[in-house]
Amino acid sequence: MEIWINPACSKCRSALHLLDEEGAEYTVRRYLEDVPTEDEIRAVLDRLGLEPWDITRTAEAAAKELGLKDWARDEASRGRWIAALAAHPKLIQRPIITADDGTAVVARTPEAVQEAMARSTS
């Protein structure tokens, strides 16, 4: 498993604590420092089964500066959204756990963390 985190995020710290409590094996990616490429974001979106606007933190200052709330949410605009996430990684929802079975979850709840662990041990 890999978990994308921002160490300043309480949900990320909670997810790490739960993973550690369960003795899960995982790799940490501090995605604000080790910024994912557009291809990596596409791959994670495929694993999540989501669109880029589904994992965008629209309340962030950068989102407001870019005017994201007015961007179209359609296939033609998908690349624009992914480029924005790569250019402004703070906009990426967190934490994201990529499970060993090829799926991923946005692990903002203990249940989502448990789901990722179950997918990685089955």
Catalytic residues, by residue number, are 9
Cite the DSSP H helix spans in the chain.
10-21, 38-48, 61-66, 78-87, 110-121
Structure tokens, 53: 């606007």
Question: Cα–Cα–Cα angle for 61, 5, 65, nearest 5°?
Answer: 10
